[in-house]
Amino acid sequence: MHNDIAPPPDSIIRFFNYQTKQTEYLELGYRRGPMTYPRRYAAVTPGSKSDPLTFSELNPSETKGHLYIAFLGLSPGFLYYLWNPYDVKVLKLDEDINDIDEDLVAIDPKDFPYDDPRFPVVLMHDRYPALEAKNISGETKNPAVMWKVYQYTYKQVKQERELFNLRAGATPSLSMDTGGEM
């Protein structure tokens, strides 16, 4: 039994597919994990940004029919910019990157500490993340991130009756973000 924030098997997650412009529902099956992926960046001077760090090892197989639900923990003294997939910056409030200051969409590690990863990200094939860190500490430091990752089998919910109940809220589902353009 897992005592953590990962959804249990048989949960249904919902997400907005930015390519089809529709909400999709996935029923989670067998769960494996957690697996942890710590990563430390090269030193970053005050006010500077790190190079983007791509996590290609968190790319689920296209042929094995699984996805990852990953939780991110972050070291203090930095603002973090999430790219999910690795080439699309994730934003808040459906804004366009040209509309707002990028620091307003950064992830603050106060809410997602390194030793207690809690920022959820759903990773599907070819939709693995990248992170960039901006040093706001006033001293040269090494940013560090921790991924706590669960692997799930899944199947797409397609039956009309099930979809009707999910859309109406009669069947519960968990909202998740799979990244992508806003």
Distance set, CA 56 to CA 107, 125, 170 (Å): 20, 10, 37
In a domain, 38, yes or no: yes
In a domain, 182, yes or no: no
Please give the pLDDT value at position 52: 86
In a domain, 115, yes or no: yes
Q: Which residue has the tokens 């603050």?
A: 108
CB 67 within 8 A of CB 154: yes
In 10 A of CB 178, how many CB atoms? 19
Per-residue pLDDT of the chain (182 residues; tens, 9 = 90+): 345 689 999 999 998 777 778 888 999 999 999 999 999 999 999 999 998 888 888 888 888 889 999 999 999 999 998 877 666 655 443 444 455 566 766 888 998 999 999 888 888 888 888 889 999 999 999 999 999 999 999 999 999 999 999 999 999 998 886 665 43
Please give the pLDDT value at position 182: 35
State CA 56 to chain mean position distance: 13
CB 5 within 8 A of CB 123: no
In a domain, 180, yes or no: no
Residues 6+ apart with CB under 8 A from 27: 10, 11, 12, 154, 155, 156, 157
Number of folded domains in the chain?
1
In a domain, 137, yes or no: yes
Q: Give the structural domain span for 99.
A: 12-175
- Tokens at residue 135, please? 């040093």
Q: Cα dihedral sign for 39, 133, 110, 122?
A: negative
Nearest to 182 by CA among 83, 101, 107, 113: 83
The 3-state DSSP class for residue 121 equals strand
In a domain, 69, yes or no: yes
Nearest to 27 by CA among 165, 182, 181, 179: 165
Please give the pLDDT value at position 94: 42
CA atoms within 13 A on the CB side of 113: 3
In a domain, 4, yes or no: no
Please give the pLDDT value at position 90: 55
Please give the pLDDT value at position 101: 65
Q: Which residue has the tokens 């197989």?
A: 61
Please give the pLDDT value at position 1: 34
CB 75 within 8 A of CB 114: yes
In a domain, 2, yes or no: no
CB 49 within 8 A of CB 134: yes
